[in-house]
Structure 1
Amino acid sequence: MTTPRFSLRSTVLGSPDPRSLASFYRALLDWEVIEDADDWVVLKPGGNRDATGLSFQREERHVPPTWPAGEGDQQMQLHLDIAVDDLAEGESRALALGAMLAQHQPQDDVRVLLDPAGHPFCLFQRS
């Protein structure tokens, strides 16, 4: 028996409004919409269907995580690390698109933000 080949195709984020959340990340990352339905949207860089991308699915009962989580809080299941050429300008752009700055900032060289659905993501200076 041969070992099957695996490849990551997408990270899926839940949201009560997948089109709205996809629109935020589309503008932030400058990616293209590959699939667009009421309950499911897929973004890929450069419109490349074979690239790893982000998908957004409708979750009617979406509860944004609390970051950092305390006892009994909805915990973050994952977060996205996004490289940017200029951290201050990247933070300003993300905020203008609808992100919120997280209250807790654990590092000076990273900005933790929350997307419009409340998912944490980190911006860091591209090296």
Structure 2
Amino acid sequence: MTVTKTSMLVLDCAEPQALAHFYAELLGGEIQVGEDPDLIEVIGGSGVRLAIHRDHGHAPPSWPRPEDSQQAHLRILVGPEDIDEAEREAVSLGARPLDSDAEEGPREARLFSDPAGHSFTIAATGWSV
């Protein structure tokens, strides 16, 4: 018998409630708090599942510096016609752009950090970085 499996990305941070709120707003999802107040789930409208975990000794990643490796990378897919609006929305919620090159013209993938320092990409569907 095959066991049905699912997966969930878990991000560590110092303040899980604030980061869960950021991702719930960004993904159009709902926050679910279980018995453990240090682990909060975000369930997105399109089936996205993300967990935010309190790490009392958390040090934010400092990508792209090689001495502090990237701890996780979330890729948020949007339609090509929606990438500019998705970028504006993310920034208005507290995301910080991380793109370091001054590439001109439209870009199909854009790199950001969330308020706790985790990197994520907003990318047009079908585009690979």
Give TM class, smaller chain.
0.7 to 0.9
1:31 aligns with 2:25: no
Task: Find the aligned partners of 1:121 and 1:58 in 2 and give their Cα distance.
Answer: 19
Unaligned runs of 5+ in 2: none
Q: Identity over the aligned pairs, expressed in percent? A: 32
SS of the aligned residue for 2:63 comes to coil
* Equivalent of 1:69 in 65, 68, 75: 65
Counterparts of 2:89 and 2:110 in 1: how far apart (Å)? 12
1:34 offset after TM fit, Å? 2.4
Q: What is the root-mean-square deviation in Å for CA atoms of aligned residues?
A: 2.3
Distance 1:43 1:9 in 2: 13
- Deviation string 1:23-50 (CA, Å, 9 cap, x unpaired) is 000000011122255311111134x9xx
2:117 is matched with 118
Bigger Cα displacement from structure 2, 111-120 vs 78-87: 78-87
Whole-angstrom distance in 1 between the partners of 2:61 and 2:100? 14
Pick aligned residue for 1:56 from 35, 47, 52: 52
8 Å contact from structure 1 (residues 63, 74) kept in 2: no
- Looking at structure 1, the residues matched to 89 and 76 of structure 2 have their Cα atoms a distance apart, in angstroms, of 13
- Normalised to the residue count of structure 2, the TM-score between the two structures is 0.80
**Aligned pairs, number:** 120
Q: Quick check: 1:9–1:52 contact (8 Å CA) kept in 2?
A: no
The two structures have a TM-score, normalised by structure 1, of 0.81
* Match in the other structure for 2:97: 101
In structure 1, runs of 5+ residues without a counterpart are none
Question: Which whole-Å CA distance do the structure 1 matches of 2:10 and 2:102 have between them?
Answer: 25
Contact map agreement 1:105 1:111 (CA 8 A) in 2: no
Q: Distance in 1 between matches of 2:99 and 2:17?
A: 26
